[in-house]
Homo-oligomer: A and B are copies of this chain.
Amino acid sequence: MAEPLSDFHAIIPAGGIGSRLWPLSRADAPKFLHDLTGSGHSLLRDTWDRLEPLAGPERISVVTGRAHRAAVEAQLPGIPDRNVFLESEPRDSTAAIGLAAAVLARREPDIVIGSFAADHVIRVPHLFDWAVRQAVATAREGYITTVGIQPTEPSIGFGYIRKGGELVVDGAPEAALVESFVEKPDLETAKAYFADRSYLWNAGMFISRADVLLAEIAANRPELHAGIVELAEAWDDRDLRGPAVDRIWPTLEKIAIDYSVAEPAAAKGRLAVIPGHFDWDDVGDFASLAKLNSHGHKNDLAILGENARILSDAASGIVVSQTTRVISLIGVKDIVVVDTPDALLVTTSENAQRVKGVVDALKLTGHGEVL
């Protein structure tokens, strides 16, 4: 791979718990801290390792909750202190990415920033690298740029990006305008999208000049922008940051960057897309975790857990073992078993989406200590 870019800073928002992966993911062990692929590394670390060849170790920032500071620093021993942005409470992605962008723009005015989820799985890193390099080239031209994933099946689990007219950008032969965003479709529609190669999966990756991103926030959400800028001005002053965070952060509007930036920019013809040809998964639930770890063999039993002691007979699906117990699975198909010291989940791939409902029920029934 090529050298790191000199004007690119990657931002990793590491916020979500991943409730649909309970009891594996939970408040004190969120999804991004787990090794979900058997790589030996957490998803956060894998994300860092993908970005380092692009941004270099000095230009990767993580935005995370105060509670996760120690875990994040343990996963990323090379991260400079100033690149760890701690949230006192979650305020959604516009505030998180916007604040980092504003602070980074004060440090390096012409910087191009890119935001990449901490808990997605990507394979074939050189194709990821190539897509991001094209996105950065496009962003330099003033476009807010996303990387859309070329679908490998007619998924109903993801939102889609419709590619429009091609752009002529030096260093980005695949750049195109985004025509529109489309919500998760039904199967019929998903099949049509899959056949029509101009629909890409929305993986939530946004690359743009920091000042362009902030201008877009200013245009669409002026109050939020003002709060972000005020906080950013205080950020790098040791004495001012704390009081400014206490005063401003809790007042910032909670809104996803998709709505505050991406959709309005698309409507104005200012949003570009680079198709990504790498394998990508957001590992949203145990069904996708099972699929990811069974390498496409439908009758396999995928096993996650370093010390797993599994005895299976005619079983398929996934078993996640975080204990040293012997786990015996007999004649259960597409099963999901997650064995942790204080909670056990048994469900099926088909029911994987319902796990979130159980988490909500646990909150209501006084079992919150296992969440």
- Give chain A's interface residues, CB within 8 Å of chain B: 23, 309, 311, 313-314, 325-332, 335, 337, 339, 341-348, 350-351, 354-355, 357-358, 361-362, 365, 367, 370
Contact = CB atoms under 8 A, between A and B. Distances in A.
Contacts of A365: 311
Q: State how many copies of this chain the complex holds.
A: 2
Contacts of A325: 341-344
A237 B351 CA distance: 66
Contact of A331 (B326, B329, B342, B347): B347
Contact of A344 (B332, B344, B347, B370): B344
A327 B311 contact: no
Given A354-B313, A357-B313, A348 B331 contact: yes
Contacts of A341: 325
11 contacts: A23-B328, A311-B358, A311-B361, A311-B365, A311-B367, A325-B343, A326-B370, A328-B343, A329-B346, A331-B348, A332-B348
A327 B309 contact: no
A321 to B, nearest CB: 9
Given A23-B328, A313-B354, A335-B346, 17 more contacts: A23-B326, A311-B358, A311-B361, A313-B358, A327-B346, A328-B344, A328-B346, A328-B358, A329-B347, A330-B346, A330-B347, A330-B348, A330-B355, A331-B347, A331-B350, A339-B344, A344-B344
Contact of A309 (B314, B339, B346, B367): B367
Contacts of A367: 309, 311, 326
A330 B344 contact: no
Contacts of A342: 325-326
Nearest to A321: B344
B332 A347 contact: yes
Contact of A351 (B330, B358, B361): B330
A327 B347 contact: no
A339 B314 CA distance: 20
Nearest to A344: B327
A342 to B, nearest CB: 6
